A and B are shown apart, each in its own frame.
Chain A
Amino acid sequence: MNKPVKPALVVVADDDPDDCLMIREAFEDQCADCTLCFVHDGEELMDFLHGQHPDREGQTCPVPDLLLLDLNMPLKDGRQSLQEIKSDPRLQVLPTVIMTTSSDQDDRDFCQQRGANDYIVKPRKYSDLLDVVESLTKQWINKEHD
């Protein structure tokens, strides 16, 4: 089990509280030093990324190390958010991993074309989720030290 050398910030954009709970637990089990930050729709996500967070008014939001993005969200959905992030020169370097229920090939193709860094169908098993988080951590958070 790799421990991050410094606390890493992971932003999870998902409106499903169950999934959020699951992801939080998985990260706690797998990467205890990671700081998780949850946003619940695309608007909130973009505000966060642009330095504003409703809960932390006046504070500059730290630049996240990883973004987990759900596709189906209220207001601005994941597809739109992805498009905006990847067309913004400041944000496009942000590792953006799509994490969604949809296993639809059209969605996969769409996200790939728009520059998503990975596409993960939400696992049905907690153990699978742990595997996913582990590989994500390895790939995006601890890679400098690998």
Chain B
Amino acid sequence: MVNALKRPAFWYCLTLALAISLGSVGLIILIDFGISGPEGVGRLSLRPGGGLIALTLCAAFLALLLRYRWLATGLGFGLIALASLLTLAPRLPESDWLDIAALNPLLLLVILLISLSGLAAMHLSRGWFVGLVCGPMVFGLGLVSLLSHWYPGLSALGLGNLTEATLVLSPLVMLAGLILPFLYSIYHSEVQFYSKGLLVLGILGILITTLSWHALRLQSGERLIERAESLASQLEASADSAFGVKLALIRRLAERWELLDGVPSQSFWEQEVSSYLRDFPDLRLITILNRDHSPVRTESRTLDYRGWLEIFLSDQRNRDWLNHTIEARSAHLSAPLVDNQDRYHAAIAVPITPGPGYSWSVLAVVDLQTVYEKLTAYYDGNLHVKVYHQNQKVFDTAPDITGEQESMLASQRITPHHDSERRIEVYTRRGSLPPGELYLPPAVLFTGLGLSFLVMLSHFFWRQSEQRTRSLAELNEVLNQHLEEERELRTTNETLSRERDQFFALSPDMFCIVDLNSHFFELNETFVHTLGYTRDQLLGSSYMKLVHAEDHEKTIRAVQSLTEGHEVKDLLIRVLDCDGNPHWLQINAILSADDLIYVVARDTTDQLAIEEKLRENEALLKLAERLAQLGGWVVDLSTGKSVWSDAVCDIHELPRGQAPDVEDAINFYVDEHREQIRAAVLLCAETGIPFDEELQIRTAKGNLRWVRAIGHAVQDDEGKVVKLQGAFQDITASHQAMEQIRRYAERQAIIFESITDAFYTVDNDWRFTYVNRKSEELLRKNRDDLLGHNLWEVFPDTIGTELDDQYRYAMETGNSVSFEFYYPPLNEWLEVSAYPSDEGLAVYYRSIWERKEAQQKLEAAMAELERSNRELQDFAFVASHDLQEPLRKIQAFSDRLMTKSDQFGPSEQDYLKRMQSAAGRMQQLIEDLLSYSRVTTRAKPMALCHTDDVLTGVLQDLDTAITHEQARIKVQPLPDLVGDATQLRQVFQNLLSNAIKFHAPDTPPEISVYAENVSDSGWTLVVQDQGIGFDPRYTQKLFHPFQRLHSRDGYAGTGIGMAIVKKILDRHGAEITVVSAPGEGTTFRIRFTSSPAQEQSKDE
């Protein structure tokens, strides 16, 4: 692949290089032309016509290489047209302006050939042939053109108009010739050679090369001009000096003769002038002219000049010039004078005065050509010189070269004298640079092109190798993938074969492979196991040894049928195991293509045993049938025939073996059941719905019997009922028992219906099994809506209620439960008793709505009472508190008045005192009231109190009073109790202060405090005094607020103390009783009971 690429790639790169070179050269020519104009240095040898062609050719090649087919085609035709135009048009008259772009006709031929090859390569199927023909031709033309430079004989065959053009053009044309035969293959190659890198590289290299070439050319041109200019100025200087020398020579001659008094003698003249003529070859003639301008003495190199002199002198212009010379009295050089041989001469005239009055002159003729030939003899031939005197060309080193072929490089103008003017022009032949300068730029150009081409080629191959590396990598990857796939495939294969082996080994069926010679070839484990042989015993041995002798024939026939191409299916033969027992094998076998028989066998010995068992069972069934008086029957609907088992016949009291048809069978049923069975049978026959009826028949012998008739349909594949079959049982005995049970149940139901409690039962799945009438009323549901339905579905509101919990508790534990239950949906309070049993739950319940209602009303009244009491207490507290304020003011201001009592009379003072006293009492009342209400408002939590400590504290407080009244108080240790210590203290305080207070005036109080009836349930505090006592009639009054039993005069107090005591003790749940009689003292008993909560507090 890569080798096949090499050649086209080479040509492709070459073509690309050529195209770029052409483009580059053409571009540079045109740009140079544009910048420098037609006279530019760079244009010395290359013309814009060629540039244009080169550019177009470049474009055409590029288009072809890039496969822009139609662009390339267009450019090809355009190229032909352009070349033709540029070749032919300048040759038409009046088209001089096109000369500058004119093409060599040979070049037109080349262009034609190239274009044709290109077009053919693109458009003709055998285009390569055209290329093959044109290529050598073009190459040949190029070669000849190149050689024409060295072989002047071939000069007409140069492709360029100019030498340099030929030198640049020819190799390019040869290159094109080389390429042409391959254009076809390049164009049609399937490989994409083009790459941007290649193009850029080519353009870069070739552009640099071309620019260098151009720069060299410019440099050469400039050097040439420089040389030409120096040549011109040198020539000028030489010519000037040459003429100066001549003039000085002739003047000296003339002066000497003047000194020698005029005309020299003939001999002297001859001698002297001859030496002049000899020494100065450019001098042709020297003569002395008298004032009439007639020669007095004449000496010439050849006689011809004598004639020249005559002609010269005969011309009036020359005579005038001579007169002018004499008048000016200085030496003069005349304008060039052409002779009949087209040679240019100039005359030098010097006036002399040989004697007074004489105005003679010496005239010398200078051959100008000789002068300039001498001067230019040593200059190189590349340049040629033209000399003009008075605008007349007097000298030309290359007279045969016409103006068209030469370019002027330098021009020097001198005006040595007012009437003489010289101009020296230096030319070069167009396109003919000196060899060194001619070869160097093309050499650089083509070396550069070659290098660029090599770079492009190497770039191309570098890219190829990159691509190849890439493709190799891809290939590698693909290979790896294939390898991987193959590995997987192999693994899969191995797995499959392993699985097959496993399948073979593990199959419960017996597998074996035998050959046609009845030898075992392969066996599986099951086979070996079933028959009990070892594998080695069987392998290779004949299977006929195993086959039961009676089945040999069958086996041989089966093998025969296999060889005839049939399969063997379900062949039953007996095979002997190692112990000689026969096994029934069911065999399937096929013959494989390699003449092996693949056998699958199943040991059906056990199956056959099962069938045997079935037959035994059938006999047992018949026995059972007889015993259970249960029989079977079948009716074939298509034939109408019936088959009755013996039992069925027995039940009907028909002879065994009889089977009446369906209608007769139905007629055995009693009248009231006949239609029922008929309908059931018809329905079953039509739709396949089975029936199960308990009905009464009258037997053939006229006995009534209850029977259970069961029937179902047998359907064929299409679902059509083809048979009815069923069972038939005499249930007379059980029916009678059932009847009995039913009667009991009815009786029970009547009882349940009649009881006043509601009653229902649910089964273990919570389905109602019985609901009595009262239940219906209470639950407001019909019995039918309940029976068979789930309790929780019918009454979903009860889920999660106490009812739910209780029922489930009863069901789970088997304990009966009783509870009260409010059921909001019915707005009903129920008292429920549920008794669980094995069958479910029996529930008795009744409405307790009235009772509950009464209870609720009571509770509401209590709550109301409580509230009003609390309000009252609050009022008492607030009122007493707020009443204090104005009272205090009254007291304060009356007190203020008292301080000023000296201003009042005695009665006013008395009033004031009474007012103060009343206010003080009111204050006491209010304070008492506050204390009383504080029993509840300032109540503190109950806590364990040490009663002794409380009592001790109170006695200390009362110390003053005790001392004052000389009271004796006996205290016994008291049990602790749970209560509000502050309030208990108040109780003691009030009781004791009363006891101290209320005593007979002359008897000191005697008080004892002790505990009675101390037990776990509580104790009794006793406070006993020997005081004045009171009438027991007022006992109840004692505990009411502000009730006094004694006068205020005798005993201070507002009568609140005992009320407070009572209130506090009420709060403590204690009971106070009092026993008293006037003059016999008083005994208070307070019974503290310890509630469980109190006990607990004690423990803590």
Q: Give the B-binding residues of A (Cβ under 8 A).
A: 18, 22, 25, 101, 122-127, 129
Contacts and interface: CB of A to CB of B under 8 A. Distances in A.
B923 interface: yes
B885 A124 contact: no
A126 B899 CA distance: 8
Contacts of A101: 884-885, 888
A124 B886 CA distance: 11
Contacts of B556: none
- Taking chain A's interface residues, is the majority helix, strand, or loop, or is none over half, making it mixed? helix
A124 B890 CA distance: 9
B484 interface: no
A101 B889 CA distance: 11
B892 interface: yes
Most chain A beta-carbon neighbours within 10 Å: one of B885, B892, B893, B923: B892
B884 A125 contact: no
Interface string B443-468: 00000000000000000000000000
B895 interface: yes
Chain B CB within 10 Å — which of A101, A122, A124 has the most?
A124
B896 A126 contact: yes
Contacts of A127: 895, 899
B891 interface: yes
Contacts of A122: 888
B899 A124 contact: no
Interface centre among A101, A122, A126 (most CB of B within 10 A): A126
A101 B896 CA distance: 18
A109 B923 CA distance: 24
B430 to A, nearest CB: 120
Contacts of B885: 101
B895 to A, nearest CB: 4
A25 B896 CA distance: 10
B654 to A, nearest CB: 110
Interface of B: 884-885, 888-889, 891-893, 895-896, 899, 923
Contact of A123 (B884, B892, B923): B892
Given A126-B892, A127-B895, 7 more contacts: A22-B892, A25-B896, A101-B888, A124-B895, A125-B892, A126-B896, A126-B899
Contacts of B888: 101, 122, 124
B160 to A, nearest CB: 118
A125 B889 contact: no
Given A18-B889, A101-B884, A101-B885, A124 B896 contact: no
Nearest to A122: B888
Nearest to B885: A101
* A22, A122, A123, A125: most-surrounded residue (chain B CB, <10 A): A125
A101 B923 CA distance: 13
Contacts of B895: 124-127
Contacts of A18: 889, 892-893
B892 A129 contact: yes
B979 to A, nearest CB: 19
A125 B890 CA distance: 10
9 contacts: A18-B893, A22-B896, A101-B884, A124-B892, A124-B923, A125-B891, A126-B896, A126-B899, A129-B892
Nearest to A102: B881
Nearest to B927: A103
A7 to B, nearest CB: 26
A18 B892 CA distance: 10
A23 to B, nearest CB: 11
A123 B889 CA distance: 10
A127 to B, nearest CB: 7
Nearest to B884: A101
Contacts of B891: 124-125
A47 to B, nearest CB: 27
A126 B892 CA distance: 6
A127 B899 CA distance: 8
A126 B895 CA distance: 6
The 3 A-B pairs at the shortest CB distance, nearest first, are namely: A124-B891, A125-B895, A126-B896
B904 to A, nearest CB: 16
A117 B656 CA distance: 127
Contacts of B899: 126-127
Nearest to B920: A124
Contacts of B923: 124
A124 B889 CA distance: 7
Contacts of B889: 18
Nearest to A101: B885
A98 to B, nearest CB: 16
A46 to B, nearest CB: 25
A101 B892 CA distance: 12
Contacts of B893: 18
Nearest to B888: A124
A109 to B, nearest CB: 13
A22 B884 CA distance: 17
A100 to B, nearest CB: 11
B919 to A, nearest CB: 9
B1085 to A, nearest CB: 32
Nearest to B934: A104
A127 B896 CA distance: 8
Nearest to B887: A124
A22 B896 CA distance: 9
Nearest to A124: B891
B741 to A, nearest CB: 82
A125 B920 CA distance: 11
Contacts of B884: 101
A127 B900 CA distance: 12
Contacts of A129: 892
Nearest to B919: A124
A25 B895 CA distance: 13
B465 to A, nearest CB: 95
A129 B891 CA distance: 12
Nearest to A129: B892
A25 B923 CA distance: 24
Contacts of A124: 888, 891-892, 895, 923
A134 to B, nearest CB: 15
Nearest to B898: A126
A22 B895 CA distance: 11
B887 to A, nearest CB: 8
Contacts of B896: 22, 25, 126
Nearest to A125: B895
A18 B895 CA distance: 14
A50 to B, nearest CB: 30
Contacts of A125: 891-892, 895
A143 to B, nearest CB: 28
A71 to B, nearest CB: 13
A124 B893 CA distance: 9
A18 B885 CA distance: 11
A125 B891 CA distance: 7
A31 B469 CA distance: 122
A122 B892 CA distance: 10
Nearest to B896: A126
A72 to B, nearest CB: 9
A22 B923 CA distance: 20
A127 B892 CA distance: 9
Contacts of A22: 892, 896
A92 B893 CA distance: 34
A135 to B, nearest CB: 18
A22 B888 CA distance: 12
A124 B888 CA distance: 5
Interface centre among B884, B891, B896 (most CB of A within 10 A): B896
A35 to B, nearest CB: 23
